[in-house]
Amino acid sequence: MKKGIKGRLLTILAAVFIALLFVLPSTPIYSSLPAWWGKVFPDQGVKLGLDLRGGMHLVMEVEVEKAVDIVVERTRASLSAALEEEKIADFVLTREARELHLSFSAESDEKVSELVEDNFPMLVAESSVPGRRVLSLRTAEVERILENATLQALETIRNRVDEFGVSEPLIQKQGANQLLIQLPGISDADRAIDLIGKTALLEFKLLNESSTILTDFPDQIPAEEEAEFLARFQDRLEKNEAILFERIENKDSGEVTKRPFLVREPAVLTGDLLTDARVAFDEFNVPYVSITFDAAGARLFEKVSEANIQKRLAIVLDNTVYSAPRIQEKISGGRAQINGDFTNQEASDLSLILRAGALPAPVTILQNVTVGPSLGSDSIQKGIQAALLGTLLVIAFMVFYYRLSGLLAVFAMLLNVILLIGGLATLNATLTLPGIAGIILSIGMAVDANVLILERIRDELRAGRPVRLAIDAGYDKAFSSIFDSNVTTLITAFSLFMFGTGPIRGFAATLGLGVSINLFTALIGTKVVYDYLNGRKRMERLSV
């Protein structure tokens, strides 16, 4: 056997062997292999996408306008803290819509101007007189917040999904302020939506325990009476007060009640200063969430606790009170805990979303589609049936029309399929229903390349050339046509992959990989067989 033929044969056999190694974890045989196999050889096969495996398909809209309101409120809290630190006398800072109204003693006018200019460059004075400022966010800052809100929400949701442990999720921006989220293999849809969609705005607010309206507060109210309760007390609230509720569920009966709290606005501390949140257990093995602040948050928390000893501090997440402990002493070290009669799962979920960070704005679900595993298996079955039917029809035609040479073309087609699936497994790609369509199209293109070669060989044989020269000339003359058609298809597949969405990208990936492999199997795979047959014995006739 010539060295050139031997080298090509070994290359093909090595490629097939590697492809089968990567495909093996996707087959039923893999479960019967010894445990050491997965440590030595690949242990991840072809992953199935949402349409084949089942899972969730969500389209969410980010309420970007509310992101501006949240930033205004945080800026107000930061400005208030800065004014206190600079000991600005008798200042009053209130928020009206997106404007901050600040009044202070006139002698502090220059000091306040320097403070705002140096530390709050995003603010601009709408009106400025001695002892009074009306501040608002700059137009450029508002535009930046609106543009970045969706991208920030995308990153936050991606962090939450990563911690949730979803394999091969698809999370991408869609339109101006929408997010497309696909979570294959999700079984608990409600929990996933709760984790993804929760704003997770953590705030610490002092309770107002001296108000006269507290005498009319019941200990608990039925959950359905919350709106009525708020309406009854709305006119009796001061500007810096709000009513929030703690949700209480009877574990035995499942009945839900609400406990009202009168809190002071604004929050004295927010969750954007968190660095960590973990599940911990008290001496009775009851789970709670332990949170850790960064250096700035630790200093602020220590200052707040020192100034409010024996007062109650409500821990509020998305406007729901989780606990309201009484501050017994100054709290140093930047650590606190959230208690809420949690189950292990609830405490774990809460710590997860706090670690991942708060969404920059609330999100609303526009579309929620759950794909069941039965639908996925049905799609797989139909896809396999379509591929088998197409393959059998192609085999029948090639053998009938090209005889023995047709069988070689079928060999090249099967080699193409093995290497293609092995390539998908090697790249850890996700196979979707459009991906199966790409595989079927690749099968057709693999045969198409061999048809061009066989027709060229026929022409050379009709011209009276010997078999060996006819085969060489057939491959040489068909090369340019095969190469040009495959390269143009590759360019199309690349464009679809770069600019398409999830399903289109899946189709483009399998098509592009299939076309690349097709060049190898058509021009090398079948040619080496002809060269091998000619090398053993000069062929006088060719069945084509």
Task: Give CA–CA dist 138/126, Å, rounded.
Answer: 10
* pLDDT in the model for residue 374: 54
* pLDDT in the model for residue 149: 85
* pLDDT in the model for residue 492: 87
State the pTM of this model: 0.56
* pLDDT in the model for residue 373: 59
* pLDDT in the model for residue 7: 80
Give CATH superfamily name and number for 3-49+372-536: Multidrug efflux transporter AcrB transmembrane domain (1.20.1640.10)
Domain ranges, ordered by start, for the chain: 3-49+372-536, 65-135, 200-341
Cβ atoms 410, 395 nearer than 8 A: yes
* pLDDT in the model for residue 260: 95
Cis bond leading into 503, ω under 30°?
no
Q: What is the CATH number of domain 200-341?
A: 3.30.1360.200
Task: Give CA–CA dist 71/359, Å, rounded.
Answer: 12
* pLDDT in the model for residue 134: 92
What separation in angstroms does the CA of 299 have from each of 84, 294, 303, 354, 462? 14, 9, 6, 20, 91
* pLDDT in the model for residue 135: 92
* pLDDT in the model for residue 214: 92
pLDDT, block means (10 residues), the chain with 544 residues = 71 86 80 77 74 79 88 83 82 87 88 87 87 90 86 80 70 85 77 76 88 91 90 87 89 85 87 81 85 83 88 87 85 80 80 74 84 63 76 83 83 84 79 78 79 86 84 85 84 83 75 84 80 72 73
* pLDDT in the model for residue 243: 94
Strand order through the sheet with 335-338: 274-281, 287-293, 335-338
* pLDDT in the model for residue 389: 82
* pLDDT in the model for residue 245: 94
* pLDDT in the model for residue 229: 92
* pLDDT in the model for residue 354: 76
Task: Give CA–CA dist 272/201, Å, rounded.
Answer: 8
